[in-house]
Amino acid sequence: MPIDTEELIEAIAVLVDNNQIRATFEESAKGAAVVGITTLLGGLLLGPRGLALGGVVGGAVAYAMADDSFRPLGEIILNDLTDTQREQLVQHVTKAVQDVHPTDLAMLLPLIMSNVPVQLTVLNTVKSFAQTNLKLNIID
Residues 18 and 55 in one domain: no
What are the DSSP calls for 52-114, one per residue?
Answer: HHHHHHHHHHHHHHHTTT-EEHHHHHHHT--HHHHHHHHHHHHHHTGGG---SHHHHHHHHHH
Which comes out higher in pLDDT, residue 39 or 103? 39
Would the pLDDT of 97 be above 80? Answer: no
On whether both 15 and 62 belong to a single domain, the answer is no
Each residue of 30-62: pLDDT tens digit? 778 888 999 999 999 999 999 999 999 988 888
> Looking at the structure, do residues 107 and 129 belong to the same domain, yes or no?
yes
10 and 51 both lie in a single domain = no
Domain count along the chain: 2
Alpha-carbon distance of 110 to 41, in angstroms, equals 56
CA–CA gap between residue 27 and residue 65 (Å, rounded): 8
**Per-residue confidence (pLDDT) for residue 37, from 0 to 100:** 92
pLDDT at 103: 56
What pLDDT score does 135 carry? 77
Same domain, 131 and 84: yes
Domain range for 2 = 1-24+71-140
Domain boundary among 68, 87, 121: 68
Residue 101 has pLDDT above 80, yes or no: no
